[in-house]
Structure 1
Amino acid sequence: MKGKGSIWKNILIGAAVGAAFSLLSKNGEKQSRLSLPVRLKQWRRSVEEMAEDVEFMMEKVKDIVEKTPEVIEIVKEVYNRKKDDRP
């Protein structure tokens, strides 16, 4: 299961970096007036914020993965109870 989590983590990180580049290119004219250090600082801040967002999403995915076996057991129990109640 670790491999699948790693794949999703990489996908989310790639999406975040792509979004950062997209945001930077949309503001290209405005940013062309800014100095390189200012643009790098903005880019770094955006990447850090997206990394935090990715970390939050990965924690939620981890929670879901951990809870899934529990939920499956509950569904099986309910299904079996209903099955026992059938005529």
Structure 2
Amino acid sequence: MKRKGSIWKGVLIGAAVGAAFSLFGKIGESQARPSLPVRLKQWRRSVEEMAEDVEFMVEKIKDIVEKTPEVIEIVREVYSRKKEDRPE
């Protein structure tokens, strides 16, 4: 009798494990990694976006570099005013 119970226990455990593998297999299929060409397209798109971002930042840095001497001159003018000429 004890042997019969262990057989059924084994059958139930096996069925549970099979069901779990079946469910995980279906979940895994929907979340499968994209193919190599798709990943390469995604990588290329990311690289192009980063290049655009870097180009934008370089342009902004050029603007700052061009404006810096002008700003320095304005600051010098403000601090070179006589004390009575400064607004209160």
Same fold (TM over 0.5): yes
Residue 35 of structure 1: CA displacement?
1.0
What is residue 54 of structure 1 aligned with on the other side? 54
Cα distance in 1 for partners of 2:33, 2:72 equals 56
SS in 2 for 1:34: coil
Cα distance in 2 for partners of 1:44, 1:33 equals 17
What is residue 40 of structure 1 aligned with on the other side? 40
SS in 1 for 2:46: helix
Post-superposition CA distance 1:9-54 (Å, at most 9, x none) = xxxxxxxxxxxxxxxxxxxxx5x62111110000000110111011
Cα distance in 2 for partners of 1:58, 1:33 equals 35
What's the Cα RMSD here?
Answer: 1.4
List structure 1 runs of 4+ shifted beyond 2 angstroms: none
Opposite residue 74 of structure 1, the aligned amino acid is: I
Cα distance in 2 for partners of 1:75, 1:43 equals 46
Unaligned runs of 5+ in 1: 1-29
Cα distance in 2 for partners of 1:52, 1:78 equals 38
Q: What is the TM-score with the length of structure 1 in the denominator?
A: 0.57
Unaligned runs of 5+ in 2: 1-30
Residue 80 of structure 1: CA displacement?
0.3
Instruction: Number of aligned residue pairs: give it.
Output: 54
Residue 85 of structure 1: CA displacement?
2.4
